[in-house]
């Protein structure tokens, strides 16, 4: 659960929508390279990655996806 303790600045790099108490990542505006998707943001579990959520990341090298994510359109 280390990802639950991510600073707000890191979590703010992700845009998201709320769906019945869970979150879908809809975008990312952080640095390129390696990305770690948090398991939760503001206490709500991240369960989905939306279509083209990382579409603007031209230099993304890898991503760590938590077990809480059960649906991805990425």
C-alpha triplet 47, 63, 11: angle, nearest 5°: 60
Quick one: residue 33, left, alpha or beta (phi over 0 = left, psi -120 to 50 = alpha)? left
Enumerate residues 6+ apart whose C-beta is below 8 A from 23: 16, 17, 40, 41, 44, 45, 46, 47, 48
Distance CA 12, CA 71 (A): 21
20-62 confidence digits (pLDDT tens): 999 999 999 988 889 999 999 999 999 999 999 998 888 889 9
Query: pTM for the full model?
Result: 0.80
């Amino acid at each position: 659960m280390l990802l639950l303790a991510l600073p707000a600045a890191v979590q703010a790099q992700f845009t998201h929508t709320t769906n019945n108490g869970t979150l879908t990542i809809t975008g990312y505006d952080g640095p390129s390279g390696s990305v770690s998707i948090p398991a939760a943001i503001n206490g709500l579990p991240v369960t989905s990655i939306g279509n083209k959520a990382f579409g603007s990341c031209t230099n993304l090298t890898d991503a760590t996806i938590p077990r809480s994510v059960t649906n991805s359109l990425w």
